[in-house]
Amino acid sequence: MRMKSMLKRIFSSFVVVALLLFSSPSFSQKILYTYAQNAEPKFMLSGGNITGLCHDIVQEMNKELRSEGIRIEYKSKELRSISEIFNALSKNEIQIFIGAAYSEKRESYATYLQPPLYGLREMFLVNSMDLMRFAERQYVKIGVIGDTVTSESLPSIGLRQEAIAFKSINDAIKALEGNEIDTVFYSSLALGYTLKNSKGKFETLKDPSEKYYHYVVLSKSVDKDVVAKIQIALEKLHKDGVVRALIKKYGLNDYVIPGNVVEILAVDWEPYEWYDTVRKEWVGVDVDVVRAVLSKMGYEASFLTFPWSRCVELMKIGAYDGIMSLRITQERLAFLRFPEEPLSTGKDVLFKLKNSKINFSRLEDIPNSVLCGYSEGYAYGDWFWDAKFKKIAVPDDITGFKLLKSGRIELFVSNSMVGKELAKELDVDVECSPVFGEKMIYYLAFSKNYQGSYLSNVFSQRLKEFKLTDEYLRILRKYGITYDDFWR
C-alpha cells in the first residue's frame, strides 16, 4: 500500500511540474495569422480547404517552427487579393504572408526575409490560335492583375496598348478565352501553371523578361526574435531542398526557380571561367570563388552562357541575377550593381603571331595601318582606344585568335592569361606586348534591383573575408595563380 501511495504522490508531482512547465511563457505558442491569396497555384481552394504551392510552404514552415513554439494559421479560408493582404499586414490584422513580390511601398510596412522563396519572370499568355498573328496587331488589350507588382511594370509590346485590370488570374484567363482581351501579363508562376494545364489552348510569347522574386513578408510588429527564428526555418527549407521539391510537385520547374539559386551569366574565359566539356560543369578561379562565397551565404550558384553581347543585353533587362567577370564602366553602372570588393584582376596586352615583324614594344611604334581585333562589348582601357592603329570588333576572344592565326588581323587585344590559354588551345604561336595600361579590376556584377542590391552588399563583405582564408589560396593555386598575381 505504501508503494502505491508513493507512486501516486510521484505521479501527482510529475503532473504538477508538467503543467507548470507547459503553462509557462517559454512553452506558450506564438500564433502568426495569415491570409491565402486569390492566385493559383500559390493558393487554391479544394473542397473548402486551402491548397497550393505557398500553402504547402506554410505547412513545411510550421514543421520547422514547432520546436520554437511558433505556428502560422489562416485567419480565414477566404481567398484575398494581394492589396487586401498587404492592407491587413499594415494594420497587424495578420502578421505574415507567404509569397509576395517586393515593392518599396510595401517595404515601408512589411519586413522581407532572405533568401526569397523562389524566383520567377514576367510572362505574356495568348490564345494558341492567335500566336502567329499577334505580332501584326496595331492595338493590344492586355489583361493584368490589379495592384500587383507586375501590373506596375508592364512593358510595351504594341504600337498602341491598353491595360485592363482584373481582380484575379482566373477572371483574366476567362476574358482571354472569351477574346475580350488579347493577352494576359502576369508572373510565370501563375501563367506557367495555366499553360501547363491548358492542353495546348494557350501559348506564351518567347521574349526574355525581367526576373523577380517572391518572399516571406512579416508585419513590422512581429518581434525580432520571432523574425530571426522564421528566417532560420526558411534557410533550412532551402538547404534541405524542400522548396525545390514543392516546385517540382506542381510541375513548375520550367517557370520557377528556388529563391536560393543565383543565376549568373558567364562565358568561356580561361582561367577565370569556362565550361569544362569533360566534367560537364563550369570551372575557373572566379567560378570557384563565387561558388564558395555564395555557399557561405546560403545560396547556390547556377552558371549560364550566351554570346558576350547577348549576356550584357540580358542583364540590361534584369533577366538574370549576375554576370562575371566585369570591369566597372559608366554605361554598366546604369543597369548593374557592383560590389565594393573586386573578384579578380588582370592585364590587357596585344598579341601578334611570332613571325610578325610588327614592333609593339611601344604603342607609338605600331603603324597606323595595322589592324587590331577586339571583343565586342568588352571594356578595355583608354590606352587601347587612344592608340592610332585600326580596330575591328569581333564576337569573342576565340574568334579573335582564329582571325589572328589566319592572318586576317595583325594584332588582337586580350587579357594576358586568357590570351595565353587560348593561343595554346588553338595552337597559335604568339607573343604578347608589354602592359600599356592599368591593371584591370574584375567584379561579379548583380542586377540593379532589390535582390541584386542585397546580394551585392552581402557578397562584398563575405568575399572580403574569404580572401583571408586558406581555402581562397588553395583555389588560386589550383589554377596556377598566386595572391600577388592578383593583388600586388
Q: How many CA atoms lie within 13 A of 151 on its CB side?
A: 16
Identify the pLDDT of residue 134: 84
CA distances from 20 to 9, 14, 29, 70, 405 (A): 17, 10, 15, 19, 84
Q: What is the model's pLDDT at position 8?
A: 55
Domains of the chain: 28-116+215-257 (3.40.190.10), 119-212 (3.40.190.10), 260-337+446-480 (3.40.190.10), 348-438 (3.40.190.10)
Residue ranges of alpha helices (H) inside 197-329 are 224-239, 242-249, 285-296, 308-316
Chain length of the chain? 488
Q: How many whole angstroms separate alpha carbon 124 and alpha carbon 203?
A: 9
Q: Are 297 and 462 in contact (CB under 8 A)?
A: yes
pTM metric for this prediction:
0.88
Q: Tell me the β-bridge partners of 99.
A: none
Mean pLDDT by 10 residues, the chain (488 residues): 52 49 57 96 94 98 97 96 94 97 92 97 92 85 90 83 92 94 94 93 89 96 96 97 98 96 96 96 98 97 94 95 95 97 97 96 96 93 95 95 97 96 96 94 97 97 98 97 95
In this predicted structure, what is the pLDDT of residue 16? 46
Q: Which residue has the cell 532589390?
A: 450
E strand segments, 284-370? 300-304, 322-326, 336-337, 344-346, 348-353
Q: What is the pLDDT of residue 19?
A: 45
- Coil, strand or helix at 432: strand
